[in-house]
Structure 1
Amino acid sequence: MALRSAEDLPREKKRRTVSLRLLLIFGFGGLVALSVGGVLALSVYANFANTHSLLNRQADLTIEAMERTFVSDAEEAERSVQAVGALYEQGAFELNDRESEALILRPLLLSEPVIENLVIISNEGVMTGLIRHPRHEELLEAKTPPGKRAAPPKDLFKKNSETRWTKPLKRDGILFHSVIHPLTRNGKIVGMVSAAVGPFSLNRIVRGIGSDSNSKTIILNHDYELIAHSTQPELFRGKASIGIKDIADPTTRIIAAKILELGLRDRAEADSFRITETLDEGSREYIVMTKAVAAMSEQPYVLAAFFDAANLSSELERARIAAIVGLVAFVLAVAMAVFFGNRLSKPLTRVADAASRFARLDLASHKQLPVSRVREIDGQARAMNAMHTALSQFGQYVPKELVRRLMQSGTQATRSVEREITVMFTDVAGFTAMSEHMGAGDVVKVLNEHFETLCGQISKHSGTVDKFMGDGLMAFWGAPEADPDHARNAIEAARGIMEAFDAENRTREGQGLEPLKLRVGIHTGRAVIGNIGGSDRQNYTVVGDIVNVASRLEQLGKEMIEDRSVCVLISSQCRISAGDPSDLVPAGSHMLRGRKRPISVFALQIRNSGRDAPYKARAILS
């Protein structure tokens, strides 16, 4: 189809467009003004909501302080038993030597108020240590009861350096949490050290934090039993834990039941909720903050802090008003942003998609970009449409892979390099004589159909068409991109050409036309690939003896094509580089014109085709 010049194209009417700069100023400028105005309005209401935010922050800080103290106390106990283990391994004391043990345990027990006892247990079941009393410490020596043998400490540990918390133990109405660490010497476990944290430490945690934050704090175990209370420590006299139904304080009971209902013991993140307690004199609302903490036990505990929200009604009302205003402003801002963003993003997205397709040389799927009333977008669309036209024309004269590399890396893509590649020459036998009896249009049609088939197979198998020479062509593999399978891909392309050409000949015979014959020569070797030519005109091609050998192999096909439709001759170098395909048969050794030594030649057979007789191995020099 003839190309029309710019003067021949129909002129479009000049349309009125809008500047993208002005559109951004008035569109997004108005959006920003609305957003800032909304923020200013919200800030006025935020000044009246400080009490609520401070209370929430206080709740966060309280639960964080509880968690930090709870974990810190657990780590103190862990460090104590680890220190005893390290001292024993260094030989600082001996098992069952109460004097040397006391020198180690007494300072640790005095320096760590969270620990209520430190006990050493040998593999034989002998237990010695210190127990903290409100007024003094005393040594305790004990053995396992008669008839019973304690499990050897070494069976409790998976490795010599392990420190672990055991299941909480209820003893005489008191709940103890014990952390144990192995005592090792010369790589063997000979006993263990245990540190216990009792109710005194847990109530100290909640009582201290509760009084500092003007709140009530509690601790629930994994069974949702109350084990510590900041304002009512007397509840645990003679009791290790209290079930939810048995909690006397109605507020604590309701909050514990809600924690059970929500299943908060299995949540790693902090949770908060509001709850209302109905009393005879009315109802009171509480803000509750909870956190599940895995410390001092194999199963997590729930820490909870709750605040009276009775004095926050006015602040909460202002917060609700601010939330409504903010929501309205947000919806308007989002609506405007979506509107303008959609109007601007669609054409820009189309341009980006087109540029991406151009970079991949996927020109066939491109659709002309529509014009726009935005001047800059309209200019981009016209430029991309013009680029598509230019690239489509350019791609018909230059290999697509070369164009793609030129677009990606500029002139570096065509610099000359030397490497091993594979070259193919093809030629239609007797086409010149046949074309004398054909019209010019018919000749062009046959050649175009023929080259369409060849180029399709070459491109399919990663090859590059170098040039067309009458009814023949030259192609190569291994450039511009290096390809370790260049020889195998070239043979696969030749195999595809054979099968396609054979199918075309069957079609021609069905139309009553004379079948064509095709000669193909393929050779592998080192060559120089790059731009060849003058300063104003260059051609990206292959230079080297490999080109002459491939051409001579194609010419050798004149002697061997006989009654075959396609004759593909391949050099031994190409066969070896391709991994010796099974469908290559020896075709003899031949002295090619211009070479001093003969070259071994192999022929490619058409798979599953009975049209051509198999090649006979030759042992001649021609």
Structure 2
Amino acid sequence: MPRRPVARDIVLALEGRPIHKLRWTNAATINMSDLEPKRISSSRDNARLGLMPTLLLSMGLLVLVSVGSILALNWITGRSVVQEFATRLIARGLTIQEMALRRHLDAAVDQATFIATAVGDGHYLFSDPGLGDFVSGTIAAAPQIGGFILADPNGNALRVVRGKTNTEFRLDRLDITSDRQLAEVADEIRTRKDPYWGPPVYREATQAASLNYRVPIWKRDLYVGFLAVAVSTRALSKLSTELSDPPRLVAFMLYGQDRVLAHPFTVDGDRRQSEDTPLLMLRTSGDRVIANFSSLPPLDEAGIAPPVGILARQHTVDGERYFVFAREISGYSDLPITIGFYVLARAVDAPLRLFYWASIIALAMFGVSLIATALMAGAITGPIRRAARGAAAIGTFDFDKVAPLARSRIREINGLAQSFNAMLDGLRAFGRYVPRTLVTRLVKEGRVGAGTEERKLAIMFTDIVGFTAACESMTAGEVAEFINQHLALVAACVEQEGGTIDKFIGDAVMAFWGAPGRVDNPAASACRAATAIQQAIAADNEQRIATGLEPVRIRIGVHIGNVIVGDIGAPNRINYTIVGDAVNATQRLESLGKVIDPDAESITLISREVFEMLPDGFRCISRGTHLVKGKHEGLDVYQLVDRPKDVARNTV
């Protein structure tokens, strides 16, 4: 049986290690035998040495041996360790920059592919009025994309340009044949079969240069148009600015090795850019450190050996020495991108200088620590003894008989007292933080430590519609209060119908019926809880509207199927939970609510398996068969409307 975390917290308190909060795995994981009084008394009886002499002797020897050994070892290995750290830091800096760049470019590729597929498969026509809303909504989640053009073979195009914020878009339709630059791009794309990255393009209308991902759209052998997505070089320059800390460190991106793709200097663009010169030449960019990047001498700093594939060079400007590191990015065959950064040489050497000073100070403190050891030992032993007596009382579960530890002027001892007192408060509040209902059922059913089994359970998922957007106008405290109030409302409805709450996932709730205690008709219980949640949400929304607040909208999904239920987790943290394909299907049902009725205040979708198990009194509406992610076969979906009394179930 897994070990109860209380015993570990007591040991940590006795060792002087702070306990900031109590963490309980699950009531089903507690091994009460770990805290048996006989074990505590046995340990106390076997102790023969006094605390004070033991502490003096052990701390004195520890200081003498450990500090002396560490100083000697540091002098032997310290320099190489610090230099290795600097080398790894170089690789890490380039890796972070590469990952950030790939997120920008891959977002453009993914969204362009998604939109082009939707158009190519005939889901949207170029003349469809809803096409603009579809593509705008698609790229809203990718702020890296500055805009795009979607055109048919005749040159009729839909253009979407992002506004000042990520949610603002300007849509217009144009004839690209009247725009020489766009017409040339269209003629080139028509000759291609596969998507590709085009060369940087500068637009006079926006006075900005951008990388552009071009996707020709074909239906078999019929060319039906193209899609071009723009990633602004200004956005990439902002990314370089975020990764820079001038003059100590400056990040940059090059197109090839002679043109500036992104640099903190170009975050606002440059008047020298034009259609013929969309990107500035590196030698005229104004950055004297890398102006002659391709001809800089190699780095010869001892101890700094960049990994394979990283270009390391050095340069001196105005008497200040700089290290330059760069690497070519692979995976974008049409884009010869080189990322890099340069850093002050003294910033790289700084850890080594700090090491020398730290060694000198350590030698001085070595003698002081030996004297302080004796003084500290006397100040520590008193509170430790009182903590030990309190721990012995806790071992017998006499929480009310344990007095809190007094404050101390010694920080560590005061931390021990605070941690001990916090642990004591947590134990007294045991019943509040341990799921009593679940524990009671597990004990009643004899399921404590029984492992896992397969059962047919009814599963529910709930989720608030637009929760992230709603939270943008709230403070952190208001968000917490809102979530707590909503979860309390949903949890009350679930528990009233005998459900087991599996977990809270932000504003979402996952619950199930049929375990640990068996239920005659888990599907009916889950649906009764769902309708109760809908009624509670409706009542709560009336109050919210009356006070000037936005109403809450919620989606609910209910499904039934075979799952694995029981103790699942790591040895030191077991959860009583469920796993299985039915869980995924339930979550997909809940997500279908935004497709079936996105404007509903509350919508509950159930599967055919649940529908067929409902007794008289429930009213449902057939919503057809839907394909969901991860399922090869469609789900027959019904909307649970109500459970009016004395009304036979009917299907519309």
Question: After TM superposition, is the score higher than 0.5?
Answer: no
Query: Could you state the TM-score of these two structures normalised by the residue count of structure 2?
Result: 0.37
Query: Could you state the TM-score of these two structures normalised by the residue count of structure 1?
Result: 0.38
Which has more radius of gyration?
1
